[in-house]
Amino acid sequence: MIHNGVGRRGVLAGVFGVGATAALAACTSNAPTNATPAAPGAAAPSGNNAAPGRPVTIGFSAPAADHGWIAAIAKNAQAQAGQYPDVTFQPVNPTNDITQQIAAVETLINKKVDALVILPNDGSQLTSLGRRAMQAGIPVINLDRVFDTPLAYRSWIGGDNYGMGVSAGTYIGNRLRAAGKTSAVIGEVAGIDNLPLTQQRSKGFRDALESFGLSVGPRQAADFTAQGGQRVAANLLQAAPRLDAVWNHDDDQGIGVLAAIQQAGRGEFFMVGGGGSANAMRAIQADNSVLKATVTYSPTMASSAIALARLVAQRRGMGDLVEKEVPASITLASATVTKENVADYLPFGFES
């Protein structure tokens, strides 16, 4: 989920609502109706684009799977490609080294693949590569970490970091309002502060809380790892003898945050996670910890990116839209997952 400049997941989750992500991929798939059910993160075939088109080869590049979200990105992309008998999926080795990623994608350009799906380690540093592919007539689907210019991609699809913060803040605000708490102490365990995605998430959170007359209290930034989350959460808990609510930006990081909470013996507050991991959703479903909700930034966006790449390469549009062309930009919405609706979202969760 890590958006610009870090070779790991930019956390991240936010869904077309998950249902909308599935709907997009469903309307672009082409396998026969009696096909084997799709794997989690891949949409079963149906819709106006179901008929096979001309065979196409889709190249795929992403960072190394050293985070649950990134691992799910690669898994979902491959699973979605497998739904299409007219698609040859050609991934290159995942890497966190920008130079190696550039070299790997250059091999795909030289092979003249029909389309590219690229989740760059760093959008700025790979922008020139995206432009080179586009100039060579290879449409690029830019996944999540955005390139510096639209000239480097045909379509962009990714999550809504600001929307994640809004979803988390709105859930916390509504819950505190229902409890009659007007002077609540609200903690925030952020990701990496110098990343735009973290800044966007925090701004959305602040803005949403302000609409309830609330504000962020103790806030510390971690590093999107369980170890960092545990260390930072322990410090935050020590500095804040009383809390009413906490938002943690990332569910992988949240494993450590929950461990610190348990070690401190704290339970007077509730927590909201971020990303939509299966681990977090199972904890929400069990309802036996402070974690009561998570806001999504779903790796199913990789499935939809493959579906879009196929349509663009085949010069088709999305069957449920009037326009003949695939949209240039798709921002996924961030859903709020609670005990009441977790069963609907758990099949789309990624393992931390």
Rounded CA-CA distance 151/140 in Å is 10
Closest to 89 (Cα-Cα) out of 98, 80, 102? 80
Residue 320: pLDDT band with limits 50, 70, 90: confident
Domain 17-158+300-329: which topology?
Rossmann fold (3.40.50)
Domain segments of the chain as ranges: 17-158+300-329, 161-296
- DSSP label at 63? -
* pLDDT of 292 higher than 70: yes
Residue 343: pLDDT band with limits 50, 70, 90: very high
**Residues 315-340: what's their mean pLDDT?**
94
∠ CA 155-160-166, nearest 5°, is 160
Reported in sequence order, the residue ranges of 144-289 that DSSP labels E, i.e. its strands, are 155-158, 186-190, 219-221, 245-248, 270-275
**Domains 17-158+300-329 and 161-296 belong to one CATH topology:** yes
Among the residue ranges 9-13, 194-198, 261-265, 333-337, the one predicted with the least confidence is 9-13
Closest to 15 (Cα-Cα) out of 158, 202, 190, 146? 158
The pair of structure tokens assigned to 98 is 């920008």
Domain 161-296: which topology?
Rossmann fold (3.40.50)
Asked if 342 and 285 count as a contact pair (C-beta separation under 8 A), the reply is yes
Please state at what angle helix 161-178 crosses helix 196-210, rounded to 10 degrees.
30
Q: Looking at the whole model, is its pTM more than 0.85?
A: no
* pLDDT of 297 higher than 70: yes
Residue 50: pLDDT band with limits 50, 70, 90: confident
CB contact set of 215 (below 8 Å; sequence gap of 6+): 186, 206, 209
Closest to 313 (Cα-Cα) out of 118, 109, 158, 87? 87
* pLDDT of 33 higher than 50: no
∠ CA 130-133-139, nearest 5°, is 90
pLDDT tens for residues 61-82? 999 988 889 999 999 999 999 9
pLDDT tens for residues 197-247? 999 999 999 999 999 999 999 999 999 999 999 999 999 999 999 999 999
